[in-house]
Amino acid sequence: MFNVGQIDGLPEAFAIPPAEASPTLPGPEPIAHAEAFFAATGADIRHGGAQAFYHAGADHIGMPPLSAFRDAESYYATLGHEACHWTRHPSRLDRSFGRKRWGDEGYAREELVAELGAAFLAADLGLALEPREDHAAYIADWIEVLKGDKRAIFSAAAHVERAVKFLHGLQPGATAEAEASEPEPEAEHRATPAHRFEAAA
- DSSP state at residue 197: B
The pLDDT > 90 percentage for the chain reads: 47
Domain residue spans in the chain? 38-195
Which residue type sits at 85? H
- Better-predicted residue by pLDDT, 13 or 51: 51
Count Cβ atoms below 10 Å from residue 131 Cβ, excluding itself: 6
* Cβ–Cβ under 8 Å, residues 189 and 56: yes
Phi, psi of 119 (to 5 degrees): -65, -40
Count Cβ atoms below 10 Å from residue 155 Cβ, excluding itself: 15
Count Cβ atoms below 10 Å from residue 109 Cβ, excluding itself: 24
**Confidence category of residue 108, pLDDT binned at 50, 70, 90:** confident
Task: Give the span between the Cα atoms of 109 and 182, in whole angstroms.
Answer: 13
Of the listed ranges 52-66, 72-86, 131-145, the one predicted with least confidence: 131-145
Q: CA torsion sign, 122 to 123 to 124 to 126? A: positive
Mean pLDDT of 62-75: 94
pTM of the model: 0.71
Q: What is the pLDDT of residue 27?
A: 77
Residue 197 has pLDDT above 60, yes or no: no
- Better-predicted residue by pLDDT, 177 or 15: 15
**Confidence category of residue 133, pLDDT binned at 50, 70, 90:** low
Mean pLDDT of 76-97: 95
Of the listed ranges 8-17, 48-57, 164-173, the one predicted with least confidence: 8-17
Q: What is the pLDDT of residue 6?
A: 54
The pLDDT > 70 percentage for the chain reads: 65
Residue 31 has pLDDT above 90, yes or no: yes
* Cβ–Cβ under 8 Å, residues 127 and 134: no
Q: What is the pLDDT of residue 107?
A: 83
